[in-house]
Chains A and B, each alone.
Chain A
Amino acid sequence: MEIVFWLSVAFVFYVYFGYPALLLLWRRLAARPVKKKHWEPTVSIVIAAHNERQRIEARLNNCLSLDYPRRKLQIIVSLDGPTDGTEFLVWKYSAQGVQLVHSREHSGKAAALNRALRGATGEIVVFADARQTFNRSAIRELVANFADETVGAVSGELLLLDDSQQEAVSDVGLYWRYEKALRLLESGIHSIAGATGAIYAIRRELYQDLAEDTILDDVMTPMRIVLGGRRTVFEPQAKAYDIVACCARAEYVRKVRTLCGNYQMLAHLPAAVVPWKNPIFVQFVSHKLGRLFVPWALIAMFVTNLFMLHGIYAVTFSLQAALYLFAALGYFLSKREVAAPVLIPDESRKAA
């Protein structure tokens, strides 16, 4: 019982504290900086969307205002069975060179991406969502990393803004900052184990069609690239802006999808857990798999502690009980929260 308890404690501490410390040390000993160079390859921006009537025009205006030669920029909107007339709004932009790939069938984001990539001509493909906007130099910052031949994919940074358009410092915002710090460290060593769906880029030649039921294209495609021998790096100067989830419950929905997608990725990419096939095996196991197993370790900690309430174990049980008691209080408080208003970031203020 004691062994299970302490192994669980050690595992949880490793995932949240030991692994970041390991990355810090690792980067100090074996950093692999990307050989960035500013150049101007042809770029295709791909936006997969379903019903985005409210946001698509702002998104396209943002793409058209990016600091990149227009003649080298292809913008593709791949609509996946829209029912709200989004396609009519996109058509209005065809005179400005925006290309529409329209499917009447709602078959999912992965299928929409596959269709879009068939018409993409850029050397580099940038993936974007309809919801977010980019900073003006985002494309330049992303493609600069591809001057390094070892780089196959680049993830930008998603900034979650609060209602004053500053980076959120709520609990969800803090959690996201922690995640980004990990990615920066991982990128400095070799690769991150997944990109940010809101803003990431790949060499077009490395794209492989996704299964239609793929949940996380932004993890599947970069991981395939890593398994294929190239790097997936993090570029914090390429930014996408979004509004922070109003509360942990809203973030929970997104997180369930992400973690469900991680399970799916394990099924679709078993090579990711084979040490000699995955060059970022330690990072993948510590970061991605670790998060999947932490809740089970927490349950094991609590249950085993129930049977050991003497000495130091009385203290550990009190701490755990306090954690869950406060969490329960947080749950009841969150039920009274209201959704934050949806804001469009002021690009002129946020542009890097």
Chain B
Amino acid sequence: MKRLVSLPYTFVVMNWAAVAGLYYFVTGKKDVWLGSKSSHRHKR
């Protein structure tokens, strides 16, 4: 059951990130790349 819902969720979240990424780029919100305090940050 969990996999059944988490796969679509991951797919939608990854795609929503592209919309949010455009928003951050257009508005120039710096915190998406200067934030380094997150305990769960990792790089591609």
Question: Chain A: residues with CB nearer than 8 A to chain B?
Answer: 50-51, 106, 108-109, 129, 131-132, 158, 160, 170-172, 175, 194, 196-198, 213, 215, 218, 242-243, 245-246, 248-264, 291-292, 294-295, 298, 323-324, 326-331, 333-334, 339, 342
Q: Which residues from chain B contact A160 at a C-beta distance below 8 Å?
A: 42
Within 8 A of A (CB), among B1-44: 2-22, 24-25, 30, 32-34, 36-44
* Chain A interface main SS type: helix
> How far is it, in angstroms, between the C-alpha of A333 and the C-alpha of B34 when the chains are bound?
29
Contact A259 B40 (CB under 8 A): no
- Measured in the bound complex, the distance between the Cα atoms of B19 and A9 in whole Å is 18
Looking at the assembled complex, report how far the CB atom of B42 sits from the nearest CB atom of chain A, in whole angstroms. 5
Q: Knowing A257-B33, A326-B9 touch, does A263 contact B14 (C-beta < 8 A)? A: no
A-B contact pairs, 8 of them (CB 8 A): A218-B44, A251-B10, A252-B17, A254-B43, A256-B24, A262-B21, A263-B21, A327-B12
The answer to whether A255 touches B41 (Cβ under 8 A) is no
**Whole-angstrom distance between the Cβ of B44 and the nearest chain A Cβ:** 6
What chain A residues lie within 8 Å of B40 (beta carbons)? 245-246, 250, 253, 339
Contact between A295 and B19 (Cβ–Cβ < 8 Å)?
A: yes
Contact present for A256 and B15 (CB under 8 Å): no
Contact B33 A108, beta carbon cutoff 8 Å: yes
B21 CB contacts on chain A under 8 angstroms:
255-263, 292
Q: In the complex, what distance in Å separates the CA atom of A250 from the CA atom of B17?
A: 11
User: A129, A295, A328, A330: which contacts B16 (Cβ < 8 A)?
Assistant: A295
> How far, in Å, is B11 (CB) from chain A's closest CB?
7
Closest to A179 in B: B44
Instruction: Name which residue of chain B comes closest to A260, CB basis.
Output: B21
**Cβ contact of A292, chosen from B10, B11, B18, B39, cutoff 8 A:** B18
Contacts of A298 in B (CB 8 A): 15
Residues of B contacting A: mostly:
helix
Most chain A beta-carbon contacts within 10 A, residue among B2, B9, B36: B9
- Determine whether the beta carbon of B41 is less than 8 Å from that of A331: no
- Inter-chain CA distance A51–B41, complex, in Å, is 12
**Contact between chains at B9 and A158 (CB < 8 Å):** no
A215 to B4, CA, bound (A): 34
Instruction: Tell whether, in the assembled complex, residue A215 and residue B13 are in contact, meaning their CB atoms are under 8 Å apart.
Output: no
Given contacts A248-B6, A252-B14, A330-B6, contact A260 B43 (CB under 8 A): no
Q: A197-B44, A294-B18, A330-B6 known; A251 and B13 CB under 8 Å?
A: yes
Q: Which residues of B contact A291 (CB under 8 A)?
A: 18
The residues of B that contact A196 with a CB separation of less than 8 Å are: 43-44
Of A172, A243, A263, A327, most buried by chain B (CB within 10 Å of CB) is: A327
Assuming A295-B19, A323-B8, what are 18 further A-B pairs, CB within 8 angstroms? A158-B44, A171-B6, A175-B14, A197-B44, A198-B42, A245-B42, A250-B40, A252-B16, A254-B42, A255-B13, A257-B33, A258-B17, A294-B15, A326-B4, A327-B8, A333-B6, A333-B9, A339-B40
